Amino acid sequence: MPFNLSSFLIVAAVLFTCGVFTVLTRRNVIGILMGIELIMNSAGLNFVAFNRYMPEAQTAAGPTGQVFTLFIIVLAAAEVAVALAIVLALYSKLRSIDVEKFHELSG
């Protein structure tokens, strides 16, 4: 079996799927955040794979895929920080981190 771009994409897809599954089925908020992390990382994996296997995608400015992955990591970190802040606020109000309990915004 040749080891090419497809292999990395498949791994990223599997990771993405796991991440989506995790987001959809966890009751724990932190678990959902972990799933989100997985999704983001899978996206990042996609980027570096494309960066390695398609040189014409690189620009004169440098390795685009790698730069993008760095952005993703930073954004993930920021987003987790914000999400955790929200979770903390919710916990101080509702004394729980069970996502089933967060339905005040229902219409």
Point out which residues bind other proteins (CB under 8 A): 20, 23-25, 32, 99-100, 102-107
Least separation in angstroms between CB 76 and other proteins: 17
Compare residues 26 and 52 and give the one whose CB is closer to other proteins. 26
Distance CA 6, CA 3 (A): 8
Least separation in angstroms between CB 85 and other proteins: 16
Residue 94 has which token pair? 């509702």
Compare residues 5 and 20 and give the one whose CB is closer to other proteins. 20
Phi-psi category of 62—alpha, beta or left, where left has phi over 0 and alpha has psi -120 to 50?
A: left
Q: Is 62 helix (H, G, I), strand (E, B) or coil?
A: strand
